[in-house]
Copies of this chain bind each other. A is one copy, B any other.
Amino acid sequence: MRSDILVIGGGIIGLACARELARQGRRVEVVERLHAGSGASIAAAGMLAPLAEVPKPGPFLEACRASRDLWPAWIAELSAETGLSIEYDASGTLLVAHEADEEAHLDKVAHAAAAVGEAAEEIHHDRFREWVPDASPGIRRVLRLLGDHRVDNVQACAVLAAAALAAGVTLNYDVDVERIELLDGGGAEGPGVRIHVRGGAPREADHLVLATGAWSGRIPGLPLLPVRPVRGQALLLQGVEWPWRGCLRSRHGYAVRRGATGLLIGATVEEAGLLAQPTVAGIASLLAFTRHTLPGLDATRLDTLWAGLRPATPDGLPLIGRLPGQPVWIATGHFRNGILLAPWTAREIARQMTGQEPSGEAAGLSPSRFINLPMESEAGSGYTVHS
């Protein structure tokens, strides 16, 4: 049975879009190469950090802020739909500075916060030490960003998959898409897409949503999307008993609470192809950050190591919107902000797929900025696929 919409990619973006579209009455099928909520979605730290990540006023910061604002209600909906909880913390982010250039960065973030009306406050040394007793005495300044929150993204992915199912989405794991074929509408079914998968029958749908993260530049049958993998390594410490339950970051890394006594340390930013593995130099750099910033954790248990692949674009901004002239919508390239932008991306994709114009926050995110295609208004117009 042909679906209305086929979503390729069962990460947080694909699942969020699938659930949103199914709730609007569409028949939605998700195909995922591994399992729902894999890849960068579970490798991420779960920071919802518009200011620390995008300290520059403009439409993209507005998209990040809008998505941050959507998160609490989104969690409430997902929990109501599934009966499952998701850890969310609104304590904020402590941006710390050791050296002069880090102080300049704090000033920049504080100015961006003031410009857009986000709360930021200087934290006195004594209060900081009470919150984060393992911190370095060499930290000379601490800025608390009250609007940079965190969510347990591993929980969120699992709950989102359950919510998608509850909304009627069909989830197919272990489906390796080999090629996408755009249908010209000459057949009985009209225009649409067909995907060819390894070791299985082709699948068809009227529309396609591509949410394949770091793998988005590699699926034959679509115009080449300029998405490349950027590796991030991270590690998890266990046994951390701070009063502070939010995030802490400097220019050199971050520390994010996870669960009762966990502390996630991240992350490297490396061009290493699709090799998602922790390395000697990567973990050494994370431990160097940890020991420099949080020397009180020297004897703390190092529990787990991992790596994920961020989907990066040439201008650092996501690709969100329709592929010109085709029944294909792109939702990828979120780089470091995929968790943050998931609810907003789902809303934006659903908006555009119902024929509305892109929102103002989506200005500059259209995939057409990188794709040299004839702009056509009609779907299935005979555009030839070169794979």
Q: Which residues of A are at the interface with B, using a C-beta cutoff of 8 A? A: 237, 272, 277-284, 287-288, 290-291, 297-302, 305
Contacts and interface: CB of A to CB of B under 8 A. Distances in A.
Nearest to A279: B299
Contacts of A282: 302
Contacts of A272: 299
A300 B287 contact: no
A280 B284 contact: no
Nearest to A233: B302
Contact of A284 (B237, B281, B284): B284
Given A284-B288, A287-B284, A287-B287, A279 B302 contact: yes
A300 B284 contact: no
Contact of A305 (B288, B290, B291, B302): B302
Contacts of A300: 279-280
What are the 9 closest A-B residue pairs judged by CB atoms, nearest first? A281-B298, A284-B287, A277-B301, A278-B302, A279-B299, A283-B302, A280-B297, A280-B298, A280-B300
Nearest to A278: B302
Given A272-B299, A305-B305, A291 B283 contact: no
A154 to B, nearest CB: 20
Given A277-B302, A283-B283, 20 more contacts: A237-B280, A278-B301, A279-B298, A279-B299, A279-B300, A279-B301, A279-B302, A280-B287, A280-B298, A280-B299, A280-B300, A282-B302, A283-B287, A283-B302, A284-B287, A284-B288, A284-B291, A287-B287, A302-B305, A305-B305
A298 to B, nearest CB: 4
Contacts of A284: 284, 287-288, 291
A256 to B, nearest CB: 16
A88 to B, nearest CB: 27
The winner among A279, A290, A298 for most chain B CB atoms within 10 A is A279
A279 B303 CA distance: 8
A298 B299 CA distance: 24
A294 to B, nearest CB: 8
A306 to B, nearest CB: 10
A284 to B, nearest CB: 4
Given A299-B272, A302-B305, A291 B281 contact: yes
Nearest to A272: B299
A287 B280 CA distance: 6
A303 to B, nearest CB: 8
Contacts of A287: 280, 283-284, 287
A301 B306 CA distance: 10
A286 to B, nearest CB: 9
Contacts of A301: 277-279
A135 to B, nearest CB: 14
Contacts of A298: 279-281
A27 to B, nearest CB: 42
